Structure 1
Amino acid sequence: MKTVRYSMMSQYFLRWLLFIDLVCSQFQSRIHVGDFGTSFAPADPIELINTISVSSQIRCAQTCNVNPLCRTFDYDTLSKRCRLFEGEIATGQVNRSAAIPPTSRVSSIAYTQQLYLAYNQTCDQCQVNRYLLCINNTCQCPPHTYWNGHMCLNEGYNGSLCQNDEWCRNDKNLTCSSSHLCGECIH
């Protein structure tokens, strides 16, 4: 009888572990870690989400990962400074110069189309998804990003290519011109 009880307890424990693993895997991300001696310069200063002090680069990565707006971060191992940015690494610039401490490095969260399979579905499909937010009862792109038909990309700045106004940073009063470039709306 004790063997049966132990076996049932083991099954419940294993199911619990599998459930925890499933939930945790929903929050996992693939992170590209750059070289030391680099810092990130976003396309616009408005993309800096926060500057905090944390004990390690892993903590900085975790902080970025739980924030759906964060796509890029840099961390200095000496000063413990962690900077979180909205912009994808490709929309800004990775700087390398003698002025940048050799203890600083840029990292970014990798994005693929498969992360957005729940786009436009009901919110129960994206409850534990850092890449999409529940807006008006459907899974939508986070603020300052747009849907390109496959995934959520950062909205563009002055001079960025666009197909419509959604591709341009509207909080900076940018719209898509007839020449398909983001620019300031002139009335």
Structure 2
Amino acid sequence: MTVCLWFLCLIIKQSYCEEIFASKAVLSSEGTQYIPANMPAQLISITNTDSIKKCAILCNNNVLCRIFDYAVSSPKQCRLFEGDTNKLGQIVSSS
């Protein structure tokens, strides 16, 4: 009986460990935006959210998302992108 319970605990522990993810957000200065090298290929989605935190959560929940930008002014637009700023785009001043 003890062996069966221990085995069950190992299975449960392993399944929870597989669901843990980590991410890191590096924020650039306000008044900037990301310009991808290939907008149609890299743009994942555009949504309206009421905070930058919710935009970061949307990106974190999408396995393809590597970059997001958030327009603080109306319409509070959150854009999610594939790619890497060092290779596939740049951060520039927004107009």
Q: Same fold (TM over 0.5)?
A: yes
Give the match for residue 89 of structure 2.
92
Give the match for residue 47 of structure 1.
42
- TM-score (normalised: structure 1): 0.38
User: Percent of aligned pairs with the same residue?
Assistant: 40
The structure with higher relative contact order (CA 8 Å, sep 6+) is: 2
- Please list every run of 5 or more consecutive structure 1 residues that lacks an aligned counterpart in the other structure: 1-18, 100-187
- Length, aligned pairs only: 77
Matched, 1:81 2:42: no
Q: Higher helix proportion, which one?
A: 2
> Is the contact made by 1:27 and 1:66 (CA closer than 8 Å) also made in structure 2?
no
Which has the larger Rg?
1
Give the match for residue 6 of structure 2.
none
- TM-score (normalised: structure 2): 0.72
Distance 1:59 1:28 in 2: 16
1:59-96 Cα distance to aligned partner (Å, 9 max, x none): 00000001010000100122210000001121201111
- Please list every run of 5 or more consecutive structure 2 residues that lacks an aligned counterpart in the other structure: 1-12
After TM superposition, the structure 1 = structure 2 runs for residues 120-135 of structure 1, keeping only pairs within 5 Å, are: none
Matched, 1:31 2:16: no
Cα root mean square deviation, aligned = 1.8
